[in-house]
Structures are given as structure tokens and as C-alpha cells.
Structure 1
Amino acid sequence: MGLQHKEVGYLQSIGKGLHETSNSLAAAIQGMNVENRAITNDIQNLDTLQKLLAKISSHHELQTLDPRLHHEILTSYFNETAEIEAIWSNKTDGTFIFSKPEAGLFNAKQREWWKQAMDGAVYVSDPYISAITKASCVTLSQAIKNSEGETIGVIGMDLHTKIERQ
């Protein structure tokens, strides 16, 4: 009975946290006046960041899918590029190899950015509200290919954006 009571308390605290996050996101969205706004990227040059993503995805060391190398390389780009809010890599089964900050989901297989990158596209999302910062961001993703040109994984990044009201 004591264990059950403890588990119920734990579930209640999770519920409270989810409720607070939901309220925070709702307030962020409402504050943006989504129906009457002009979206502008605060990113200096989206094309430059797409080229950076292509450079990252073609890193020979990332083709090994070694989590240690992914951590080292992707953390370096994260630290050197102010526009990057999050950066990650996935295997072809959707599981994460590395994520900074830590991924909020176990498997990305159902995400559009993962599907399109796996299909060979360079994916650029519409702006949306980040669960990390509660601010507007854009997701970019692209396949990691081996020396034979086969897709062996995905690299993705979230980039800070700015929403201006009209």
C-alpha cells in the first residue's frame, strides 16, 4: 500500500509539471497573436545554415554512428553557432544517437523532419513554438549518407527565430 501511495504521488507531480508546461506554451502562443502576425527569421542567413547542415551531415566521422564522436562533433557546432537551439542525430530506426539538449522523445520515426530526411530531402519546417525555449524556432534536417550514398542516419537542428507582430 505504501508503494502504491508513493507511485500515485509521483504521477500527480508529473501531471502538475505537464499542466504547468501546457499553460506556459499556451501563454506563449497567445502572446504572439498567431492569427495576425508576420513571421521573420531572426537567422541572419538560412542558406548559410543549410550549408552548415550539409557540411555536418557529410562529416566522415559521423558515418561511424559512434555516439562518442557524434557527441564531440555536434557539441562543437552547437557551441560555435549561436543560432542553434538544439542539435541531434538519429539512426535509421529513429532512435537518437546524440542530442543536445537531451531529446524529449525516445524515437523520431513519426516526426516529419525525420521522414523527409530519410527520404533524401533537406527538410526546413515552418516556424513553431519550441518545447525547449517556449519561443519560435525552425527545424532543419538532412540525411547522413555513407560512402556508397546510402542513408544511414539523420542530422537535425532547431534554429532560433523571431516572430514580429503586425
Structure 2
Amino acid sequence: MIASVLILTFVTLQRLAELVIARRNTRQLLAAGGVEVGAEHYPLIVGLHSAWIVGLWLLARDEPPDLAWLAVYAVLQVLRVWVLASIGRRWTTRIIVVPGETLVRRGPYRFLSHPNYAVVVAEIAVLPLVFDMPAYAAVFTLLNASVLWIRIRAEGAALRANAAPVST
């Protein structure tokens, strides 16, 4: 179906564009004295997200999209933009801690410690549901939860060690 291919193309291009932004931000943060933490689990994240999108291309490209779930996914994209705009140049796919930097507490960061992870968790579950793939959604949600458990612990420890004040 053309609609499914368009949806998957959008998500794929979005993820690739985000990788470009993340790499640029990572370079800038490292140049500013940042230190990467938790690099050992980064390949797990890349592998999981790659498998998720490749699997969707293989299994969902001929499935008609459910417009209600697609609307939910669209709302998640608005939230994603809000998260990325709120954290700005500090957003990256890696954990980079810059000594002396303050934690962001604007936008959705006023309400959640990890709003980006919340959006990603929802996306990993919702996009397969757009294509009526609840088992796929469940499997990747559980796999993502296990990787996020590792990542959030590593990030939390790094931020506590940095102990920077909070910015608004």
C-alpha cells in the first residue's frame, strides 16, 4: 500500500535526520568538554531501533494503516518536536555529560525527567499498531524497556556524579 510506504519512509527519514542532528550535537558537546557515559550499551540501542524499523519495512509495508492509531502517532511527533526543541543542542542519542552544565527544566522536562524516552516508548508501541501488529508492538516494547532500564540507570548515575544545578 502506498500509504504504508509513505508512513515508513517518513519515519525512516526522520530517524536518519535525527542521527545527523545527534552526531552534530555530540561533536559540539564533546568539544565543550563533555564526556560520554554508557557507550557500551549504545550498540544495543542502535541494533534495537534498526531491527524495529527494518522489521516494520518487511512486515508492514503492504498493510493498510489504521487512521486512529496514525493520529496517535502524529500526536507523538508533535511531542517529539517539543522535546527536541526544549533540550536543543544538548539532545543526542548518546549520554554526554558536560561538567558544570545545568539540567534542562523547560518544556516537557518540567513534568518528566525523561520525556524523550517516554515518546520513544510510545512510538515503538504505537507505530506497529498503525499496521495492526500488536504482538510486534509488545515484543519491541519489552525489548526497548530492557535497554532503557540500562540506559536510564547509566544516565542517572552520570548526572548525579556531575551534580549540576537545574536551569529553567
- Scaled by the length of structure 2, what TM-score is found? 0.26
Higher RCO structure, 1 or 2 (CA under 8 Å, sep 6+): 2
- The structure having more radius of gyration, on CA atoms, is 1
- Scaled by the length of structure 1, what TM-score is found? 0.26
